[in-house]
Structure 1
Amino acid sequence: MPAPLDPRIKLRHLTAFLETDRRGGVAAAAAALGLSQPAVSKSLAELEAILDVPLFDRSRRKLGLTEFGALFLRHAGAALAALQQGVEILAQSRGADAVVRIGALPTVEVEVVPQAVARFLAGPLACRVHVESGPSPHLLALLRGGAIDLVVGRMPAPAVMAGLSFENLYSEPLVLAVRPVHPLLREAAPSLRAVEAFSALVPPRGAIIRPDVEALLLAAGVTRLPREIETVSNSFGRAYTLANDAVWFISRSVVAADLARGDLVALPIDMAASHGAIGITTLAGAAPGLETAAVIAAIRDMAAGR
């Protein structure tokens, strides 16, 4: 474990050291810093005493760094630059135009994202939040174009992950949601083959969970759903399922509250094979701003409590 930083090292020591090296002498450094030459000389002497090594070679007409000074320069310069960047980021975060733009797939727009946004807005970095919903291709296109900062939901297919980074938070299965009076609930052991007799709400082609739905149906010997309704609208899916003997292929979290209240019921069919990774997709290598990082932290917290 690295030793803690000596608390005797102050910001004035680093600025005096860096400016003296940059200007090639104490007098020029003092003028640039608006300090007296004795003040700069004192800071340099204190720093060398704290580090217990000579930083400058004073045997020549123009001050030059010793080997110790050259080594320290790399780290001192990086430290001061990082500190300056932090100050600038904090200044920007206080601006009235700060906004975090979130893409929320249907999987998370009912529970995780609303809870995370509420937590973020209750914190010290609260700012304007824009939430965009829609299918995965739409949100990923916005992410790549810089229109949104992150996408929350199921992991994109490997074929579209070039240039993107995914952070896995938890996994979730699909359910087959029906209204409480659905005929299939009267069967002792309903099967996926029985779904063919009813209208089915499924994600459209291109949606992240579409391959999972197709794989489940093919494994059950179902090659086609005669009365298929493609939708990514949770409002339409809920309304249609409550009013008709339809079967809704949907992520569990989307209808969790409906299932808990008994408004909808999950058919007792094994859906373990439909488990998918839920998480945060961002541009690879992109450093999030302070507010965006706070939103991501809130999303992680909400996901951890599931």
Structure 2
Amino acid sequence: MLNARIKLRHLQAFLEVARQRSFARAAERLAITQPGMSKTIKELEEILDTALFERTARGVALTQAGLTLLRHAGPAIRALEEGVSALGEAHAALRWLRVGALSTVESRLLPEAIRRWQQAEAGEAGVNVVTGPSAFLLSRLRRGELDLVVGRMTEAREIRDLAFEHLYYERLLLVVRAGHPLAGVEPLEPHRLGGYPWVLPPPRTTLRQQVDSFCVRHSLRLPGRQLETLSLPLSHRYTLESDALWVAPEEAVRDALHEGRLVELALALEQQGGSVGLCTNASLEPSLALEGFCETLREVAASLVGGR
């Protein structure tokens, strides 16, 4: 068992004197006085009850006991330094997250979660957000290029061996600008929807599957005038300035509906909505930062559900 009286400063001083073969040069390298260096080595020799150095005409040389200590103390200190360095590098890496975001969470959940998480972190905490279709984001998550993906994706076939955690349900809405010919029409017959442009998610996306199901249920054929995009700002602006019908995530249009700039049509695209949650790669060990951010996502999600 290591003598509790031996401190790290004792071993650091011993190793430096052994390297420099001089108390004066070792003291200079460690930025302490020469008397201080001599005192530290003397303390170590007293604790070990043996001489570690002997003075020669060319400076100081290690005794046999000193050589024995050097063989063990040197690797031990280097291993400790490497461990501390690795911990620092890992800690820095843990404070940077790579998040895949689907359009269903871009407006409220994700911005608020990032704000709270960064505010709670003691130091720097960076977040890189990648947007796109669920298939694209989940493939990057599987390859380890993302730490998690957040959004509505439970119907995505690409989840497979990934771990999905439900947070809340989010509906897709059919919305139009205030003053639109269909705004306030109730009951609204489905066939009337085909006479206007549509803003909808691209094919082969989770959200588009819901649109296709809606069309099948109501024997509705989509018009040729379509804007296919996942861009919320583009969809919002185009809808406000045209007669288009927008298939929009509820989160993305909540404020505009409340303010009266957009109006939900009296024809539900879906009732309960889809499961919004977070998806992680179960084959990878989660970092402390990832665990902390996921907990923040849960807290924000709970507050959003409670505020509805």
Contact 1:89 1:290 in 2 (8 A): no
Within a 5 Å distance, the mapping from 1:158-237 to structure 2 comes to: 159-237=157-235
In the other structure, the counterpart of 2:120 is 123
2:250 pairs with 1:252: yes
Q: Which has the larger radius of gyration?
A: 2
Greater than 6 Å deviation, 4+ residue runs: 87-90
CA offset digits 1:198-250 (Å, max 9, x no partner): 00011111211111111111111113333222111111100110010000011
Q: Which residue of 1 aligns with 2:146?
A: 148
Partner of 2:276: 278
Identify unmatched segments of 5+ residues in structure 1.
1-29, 37-86
| C-alpha distance in 1 between matches for 2:277 and 2:291 | 14
| Separation of aligned partners in 2, 1:148 and 1:302 | 21
1:300 partner SS: helix
Secondary structure class of the residue paired with 2:223: coil
Q: What runs of 5+ residues in structure 2 fail to find an aligned partner?
A: 6-83
Aligned residue for 1:110? 107
Letter in 2 for 1:197: G
Q: Go from structure 1 to structure 2 and tell me whether the alpha carbon gap of 1:174 and 1:96 turns closer, same or farther (over 3 Å shift).
A: closer
What is the aligned residue count?
225
Q: Distance between the aligned counterparts of 2:184 and 2:113, measured in 1? A: 39
Distance 1:222 1:201 in 2: 15
Indicate the SS of the match to 2:146: coil
1:155–1:103 Cα change, 3 Å: same
Distance 2:217 2:151 in 1: 25
The alignment's TM-score, normalised by the length of structure 1, stands at: 0.68
> Structure 2 CA distance, aligned partners of 1:281 and 1:226?
35
SS across alignment from 2:182: helix
Kept in 2, the 8 Å contact 1:92–1:98? The answer is: no
Alpha-carbon distance between aligned partners in 2 of 1:155 and 1:213, rounded to the nearest angstrom: 14
Cα distance change on mapping 1:145 and 1:189 into 2, 3 Å: same
Overall identity of the aligned pairs, in %: 32
Cα 1:163/1:97, change in 2 over 3 Å: closer
Report the CA distance between 1:88 and its aligned residue. 9.7
Residues 221/112 of structure 1: CA separation in 2 closer, same or farther (3 Å cut): same
Q: Counterpart amino acid of 2:120?
A: G
Determine if contact 1:242/1:264 at 8 Å carries over to the other structure: yes
Q: Which amino acid aligns with 1:217?
A: C
CA contact (8 A) 2:211 2:269 kept: no
Contact 2:169–2:272 (CA<8 Å) still a contact in 1?
Answer: no
Task: State the AA in 1 paired with 2:160.
Answer: A
AA of the residue aligned to 2:102: L
2:292 aligned to which of 291, 294, 301: 294
CA distance in 1, matches of 2:175, 2:259: 13
TM-score by length of 2: 0.67
